[in-house]
Chain A
Amino acid sequence: MSAGQLKAAITPARWLDESGRLVRGTSAPDAEALLVGYRRLVFARRLNEQCGALVRQGRLAVYPSSRGQEACQVACASVLADGDWLFPTYRDTAAIAARGVDPVEVLTLLRGDWHCGYDPVRHKVAPQATPLATQLPHAVGVGHAARLKGEDTVVMALCGDGATSEGDFHEACNFAAVFRSPVVFFVQNNKYAISVPLARQSVAPSLAVKAIGYGMPGVRVDGNDLPALEKVLGEAVARARAGEGPTLVEADTYRIESHTNADDASRYRTDDEVADWLPRDPLLRVRTYLTAVGALDDEREREITAAAEAMAAAVRTGVGAESTADPEELFAHLYATPTPQLAGQRAALRAELDFEEA
């Protein structure tokens, strides 16, 4: 890619503005497709709310909410084909659910029963990464293996603004560009890494411009604008699938809630700042637009709300069910054949359990 083809994207791409109107010069999005997206947004929002409630009830150990980022969560999943891979972080529960994984399986981690509760190979969704940016080189590896095998798989690799400071972010972007790996790096810039604001992560004019240093395109998009996100991410996916290599996409969004329930955002940001972002809500503008064009009426809204409530009820039931955690499973998966030492430790724990039960 020549230097002339690389553009420093600073102004984010937009389709729907904050009041739900088409941005001047854009064509109308497909209303039926957007309605599908709206339904997913409602589900993602309801999942965030439900998980927050489950934390307060002590059913989940912790929940890093993506409230305010639901458009990013939905878009990154909806642009992928079945054979593509998603590499999520701990804040991307709603994206994994949007990919079609049962939220109860996803919440295994936060419920504390095991680490990864879903089958990554079956769903083509990597385990949620907690150590920041460490999953990004894995995404490059999945993409490179696909290329070697002649498959047109695309890998969507998620991270936040804080993760762009990590060494693995740099190494992954560089490897992907050098090997022309079919990876889309999707940075949800929600302005905070726990308490540390974006200004302390980077003084670059945007995070998207970092792409230039790796020789790949960087695109900045309004992260609360679902049709714009689906367009930008869809183009990056198509580019990767066509063998043209990786793209870095930065979504301009905002973390409405604290880092997790264990965090207190009032220590590092003002209520006014949060209030400024509330009108930019990703659901609101799609709802306003769809209502204005007549694609969403009260009946449809009620149907979507009822379906989201049914999902939330299933999550409550699943998360509230008796724990199935088996102490002996601690030893089950480390090696294909357990070492003699692990077999011995498993037997010792079994004996302790038998003694307690007797």
Chain B
Amino acid sequence: MTTPKMTMAQAINTALRDAIAEDDSVVVFGEDVAQLGGVFRVTDGLHRDFGENRVFDTPLAESGIVGMAVGMAMNGMRPVVEMQFDAFAYPAFEQIVSHVAKMGNRTRGKVRLPIVIRIPYAGGIGGVEHHCDSSEAYYAHTPGLTVVAPATNADAYGLLRAAIASPDPVIFLEPKKHYFSKEEVDVSAAVPPIGRAVVRRPGKDATLIAYGPSVPVALAAAAQAATEGRDLGVVDLRSIVPFDDETVCAEVRRTGRAVVVAEAPGFASVASEIAARVGEQCFHHLEAPVRRVTGFDVPYPPPKLEHHFLPGVDRVLDAVDTLQWEDAA
């Protein structure tokens, strides 16, 4: 039996479909998600197949959408809401930070909010301004949120199933650049646990640490490095919160060198947090300072300039070259 190929959009669609079918409390709503099937067609066909009570369009107001999800979760539902684009989620920021993230803590666990907030995020699609932000640091910095960023289509399916099943609120960051790339997805495979990173490629010389849209960049860099005689491993975080120190640090201790790759501006970023954690926990195993390859500290550029901003294979390999290899001789 062959495993079917599907796009990431189809994988997410299938995860939503399976979750709605299995659990009566799962509801999907947001802007344009019903009749249109979402601007990226991620929710295509769900309204037709499950009806208005399970999949519905809302007025155009993100704070209202997330706030309504809070109330529905308080009353026994499992809302899965879509923010149309990363930067369009900001009107909901107060709801996310002050209520979604804190409700369980405020109420001593009496009110848990099993909400999933899906956010198409990051760049590389030639989008005009406000359509390509890497906003993960805002959420990762907020205690109480789980922050998941799948890199593969199989993980997009499996991690979304895990996110919907989670008793805690989850920010689910979908690398929109990969919505229409096809990969094999085995929907019968075991759902991966949230909070565990995965070694995508073992390597013995240095470890590239990435998540979401930067994982394919890291894998491409490792493939190119291999042709030049350097064996780079790649760790895919899968979830930023909880952070899997164990897997990351085990790999870095083995190789002694690490480069973190992420699209977001680097200052006060998730990449910075990873570099600090690795430095604190692996110091005596490190042969060189941990390097970060990130976006510049500028607003996401216009389409004709975005290739200058995005961390690419060359920048990753340049950073790898600075890892004090001369000391290894």
| Chain A residues near B (Cβ < 8 Å) | 114-116, 119-122, 126-127, 131, 134, 136-146, 148-149, 153, 167-168, 171-172, 174-175, 178, 329, 332-336, 339-341
Q: Is B108 an interface residue (CB 8 A)?
A: yes
Q: A141-B67, A148-B77 are in contact. Are A341 and B245 (CB under 8 A)?
A: yes
Q: Is the CB of A141 within 8 A of B168?
A: no
| Chain A to chain B: the 3 pairs with minimum beta-carbon distance, closest first | A141-B71, A137-B67, A171-B64
Mind listing 18 A-B residue pairs with CB under 8 Å? A114-B108, A127-B106, A127-B111, A134-B98, A137-B63, A137-B70, A141-B68, A141-B74, A144-B72, A145-B77, A167-B91, A171-B63, A332-B108, A334-B105, A334-B144, A336-B112, A339-B242, A341-B242
Q: A137-B95, A140-B71 are in contact. Are A175 and B64 (CB under 8 A)?
A: yes
Q: Is the CB of B68 within 8 A of A333?
A: no
Contacts of A335 in B (CB 8 A): 104, 144, 146, 168, 242
Q: Is the CB of A120 within 8 A of B107?
A: yes
Q: Is the CB of B106 within 8 A of A134?
A: no
Interchain nearest-CB distance for B193 vs A (Å): 10
Q: A138-B70, A148-B27 are in contact. Are A336 and B167 (CB under 8 A)?
A: yes
**A116 vs B104: C-alpha distance when bound (angstroms):** 10
Contacts of B58 in A (CB 8 A): 175, 178
Contacts of A115 in B (CB 8 A): 102, 105-107
**A23 vs B281: C-alpha distance when bound (angstroms):** 76
**A291 vs B64: C-alpha distance when bound (angstroms):** 48
**A116 vs B99: C-alpha distance when bound (angstroms):** 13
**A334 vs B242: C-alpha distance when bound (angstroms):** 12
Other-chain residue from B67, B73, B108 in contact with A333 (beta carbon distance below 8 A): B108
Q: Is B229 an interface residue (CB 8 A)?
A: no
Contacts of A172 in B (CB 8 A): 64, 67
Q: Is the CB of B63 within 8 A of A136?
A: no
**A236 vs B241: C-alpha distance when bound (angstroms):** 44
| Chain B residues near A (Cβ < 8 Å) | 27, 53, 58-59, 61, 63-64, 66-77, 79, 91, 94-95, 98-99, 102-112, 143-144, 146, 166-168, 195, 241-243, 245-246
Contacts of B61 in A (CB 8 A): 171, 174-175
Q: A115-B106, A175-B58, A340-B242 are in contact. Are A145 and B64 (CB under 8 A)?
A: no
Which residue in chain A gives the minimum CB-CB distance to B143? A334
Contacts of B68 in A (CB 8 A): 137-138, 140-141, 144, 175
Which residue in chain A gives the minimum CB-CB distance to B104? A333
Which residue in chain A gives the minimum CB-CB distance to B57? A178
Identify the interface centre among B79, B108, B166, B243: most chain A CB within 10 Å of its CB.
Answer: B108
Q: Is the CB of A131 within 8 A of B94?
A: yes
Supplied contacts A142-B71, A178-B59, A335-B242, 8 more A-B pairs, CB within 8 Å: A137-B67, A139-B71, A140-B68, A141-B71, A146-B75, A167-B63, A168-B95, A171-B59
**A127 vs B74: C-alpha distance when bound (angstroms):** 11
Interchain nearest-CB distance for A121 vs B (Å): 6
Q: A168-B67, A175-B68, A333-B108 are in contact. Are A131 and B245 (CB under 8 A)?
A: no
Contacts of A341 in B (CB 8 A): 242-243, 245
Q: A148-B27, A339-B242 are in contact. Are A116 and B59 (CB under 8 A)?
A: no
Q: Is the CB of A141 within 8 A of B69?
A: yes
Interchain nearest-CB distance for A281 vs B (Å): 34
Contacts of A168 in B (CB 8 A): 63-64, 67, 94-95
Contacts of A339 in B (CB 8 A): 195, 241-243
Interchain nearest-CB distance for A200 vs B (Å): 22
**A140 vs B79: C-alpha distance when bound (angstroms):** 14
Interchain nearest-CB distance for B22 vs A (Å): 17
Other-chain residue from B77, B111, B146 in contact with A120 (beta carbon distance below 8 A): B111
Which residue in chain B gives the minimum CB-CB distance to A136? B67
Q: Is the CB of B67 within 8 A of A134?
A: yes
Which residue in chain B gives the minimum CB-CB distance to A145? B75
Interchain nearest-CB distance for B15 vs A (Å): 21
Which residue in chain A gives the minimum CB-CB distance to B167? A336
Q: Is the CB of B107 within 8 A of A138?
A: no
**A339 vs B140: C-alpha distance when bound (angstroms):** 13
Which residue in chain B gives the minimum CB-CB distance to A143? B71
Other-chain residue from B70, B75, B98, B106 in contact with A116 (beta carbon distance below 8 A): B106
